[in-house]
Amino acid sequence: MSKVSRRHTLSFLLASVASIGLPNLLLGTSKPILRPNFVVNRFSREIRELLKFAPVGSDVTFVVCDTETGEELESFNPLRSLPPASVMKALTGFYALETLGPEFSFQTRLMTNGPINDGTLEGDLILVGGGDPTLDTDALYDLCKLLSGFNLKTLTGDFKVYSSDWPSIDSIDPDQPRHLSYNPSVSGLNLNFNRIFLEWKLKQEAYSLSLEARGLKARPSIEGITVKLSDRTSPVFEYKKLQNNESWTVARSSLGQMGGRWLPVRNPTLYTGQVFQKLAMDVGIDLPAPTVTYSMPKGQILISHESENLRVMTKSMLKHSTNLTAEMLGVTASSNFSPVSSLGASSHKMVRWLEERCNLNGVSLVDHSGLNDQSTISANSMVSILRDSSMQIQIKPLLKKIPYRRKKGQKIFGDDIKIVGKTGTLHYVSTLAGYIDKSKGRNLAFAIFVSDMRKRRNLENHQKENPRGSTSWMNSARYFQRLLINRWCRF
């Protein structure tokens, strides 16, 4: 009697996915409702076979249901709570859109408390943050150009920066390495997603380093943030924060001929003021060094910058998975009910809102972006939220298409099936949630969470940016998710 090894089974399934999606045995029937017991048992065996392709030793939870009837078509560990990673941004977007409205926008204002006479402002100039997570160097440059239209050349008072009543948070996840740009500070006055661009070039055996607040219209450097080379071998980056400046050192041995990367800024309010001062100088306005004020300024609004509306901002957040945007949307929505002092307090308000809205339980969140792996939710709760009619109106049209294809430019299932969703990725965490729409059949909502928290918890600090083995683990998790999606497209 011949034996079929697991390797042969894997080869057979891979070949089948490449040609027709999945073998009929794994795809199930087109009418899974009211299956007899022997069919349910057969499907259980098929799920067990699919689970063999998930990363070894990992936790798995998934649910797929009919969006109209709520009928659960298939699940595994549906109540197991795992980190949602960036899938949580879909929940945050829903929370913000429902609370603030799709036309809501953030305002960044320039205020004065005195008149402008003969090019001199007799008083203070105050840059007031409104929580805009998308404010960038180009927007500040435009404000400076508008300011120059008032024939302003100098001022007798101070140049102040104010971050409003938003909480000031050093980093989204304190357990992440300090140099990761996707783990920035959170403030009421943000710039360039609270990042600054480091560039290095090797010339005649000597490195030149620069830090720039890069935009398309300008790329100023500032004195408040510095970088120097170090002869150490590790760590690659070291950071120090003082009251009015930040300093970085980078290991010389880690640099190649040339390159660049974004580094986080930990004092974004002051950073924004310093960049504005430099840009103002370029248009002929002499401002003193900025000072941070912690009380609401009094005066009149001279000019302001308005962000894109919340719907457009949410779509961009879901597409590019920007953590700062998610945190600011969540904090702003929570502040609409009452002031908040931390991400934890804000996310707790979002949890209570979701629980009341969708009748959930077992949801525990500590942020709004999913960057912190202490946030957990079950696939069952995630799908319950996806089924909400307003969720489908507000968020579903903003989600990215998920193109599961067999060849470049060729779809597996044809034009009658549309898959949209949000992915989430942390080291040893891979998540996917969204919708499967069929022009001739039922529409589905699904959530798939895979994680290995033992491996993630055992990472040393120097391994957290790029741990060995995480890429192969992630490929396995994504392949497993693809198998499930392919299967559900046949339901």
Same domain, 353 and 248: no
Number of structural domains (the chain) is: 2
- 444 has pLDDT over 60: yes
Residues 172 and 287 in one domain: yes
Residue 12 pLDDT > 70, yes or no? no
- Return the top range by mean pLDDT from 162-171, 334-343, 447-456: 447-456
Where does the pLDDT of residue 15 fall: very low under 50, low under 70, confident under 90, or very high at 90 and above? very low
Q: Which domain holds residue 434?
A: 7-101+311-488
For residues 96 and 174, membership in a common domain is answered with: no
Which residue among 255, 285, 306 closes a domain? 306
Residue 259, token pair as written in the block: 């390159």
Query: Considering the chain, what percentage of its residues have pLDDT values greater than 70?
Result: 89
Q: What Å distances lie between residue 167 and 119, 133, 164, 269, 298, CA to CA?
A: 36, 13, 9, 12, 21
Asked whether 423 and 472 are in contact (CB, 8 A), the reply is no
Q: Residue 2 domain-assigned?
A: no
- Tokens standing for residue 8: 């042969």
For residue 435, the SS3 value is strand
pLDDT, mean of residues 481-491: 90
Of 251, 283, 306, which marks where a domain is finished?
A: 306
Domain end point (choices 250, 282, 306): 306
Q: Closest by alpha carbon to 433, among 354, 379, 482? A: 379
In this prediction, residues 17-32 reach a mean pLDDT of 34
Q: 114 and 69 in one domain?
A: no
- Is 153 a residue whose pLDDT tops 80? yes
Q: Are residues 123 and 211 in the same domain?
A: yes
Query: Count of CB atoms within 10 A of residue 20's CB?
Result: 14
Question: What pLDDT sits at residue 361?
Answer: 79
Q: What is the pLDDT of residue 229?
A: 95
What value does the mean pLDDT take over residues 431-460?
Answer: 93
Band of pLDDT at residue 404, cut at 50, 70 and 90: low
Average pLDDT, the chain: 89
- 294 and 316 belong to one structural domain: no
Looking at residue 352, what is its pLDDT?
96
Q: What is the pLDDT of residue 403?
A: 74
Instruction: Identify the CATH number of the domain in which residue 131 sits.
Output: 3.50.80.20
- Cα–Cα distance measured from residue 488 to residue 491, given in angstroms and rounded to the nearest whole number: 5
Same domain for 87 and 151, yes or no, is: no
Query: What's the confidence (pLDDT) of residue 461?
Result: 81
| 1 falls within a domain | no
pLDDT at res. 212:
97
> What pLDDT shows up at residue 400?
95
Find the mean pLDDT for residues 281-296.
Answer: 95
The answer to the question of residue 404 being in a domain is yes
Burial code (b: 16+ CB inside 10 Å, e: under 16) for 401-433 equals ebebeeeeeeebbeeebebbbbbbbbbbbbbbb
- From 37-51, 85-99, 308-322, 367-381, the region with the lowest mean pLDDT: 37-51
Query: Average pLDDT in the 333-340 region?
Result: 94
Q: What is the pLDDT of residues 51-66, one digit of tens each?
A: 999 999 999 999 999 9
Residue 412: pLDDT band with limits 50, 70, 90 = low
Mean per-residue pLDDT, 217-240: 94
Residue 388 has pLDDT above 80, yes or no: yes
- Whether 218 and 286 share a structural domain: yes
246: in domain? yes
Q: What is the pLDDT of residue 33?
A: 37
Top pLDDT among 402 and 472 is at 472
Co-location of 287 and 315 in the same domain: no
Q: Quick one: angle between helices 323-335 and 88-100, nearest 10?
A: 40
Confidence of residue 13 (pLDDT cuts 50, 70, 90): very low
Q: Residues 269, 325: one domain?
A: no
| Residue 14: pLDDT over 70 | no
- Statement: residue 200 has pLDDT above 90: yes
pTM for the complete prediction? 0.88
pLDDT at 409 (0 to 100): 53
- What confidence score (pLDDT) does residue 164 get? 84
Claim to verify: residue 302 and residue 379 sit in the same structural domain: no
Same domain, 361 and 273: no
Q: What is the structure's pLDDT at 136?
A: 98
- Residue 138: inside a domain: yes
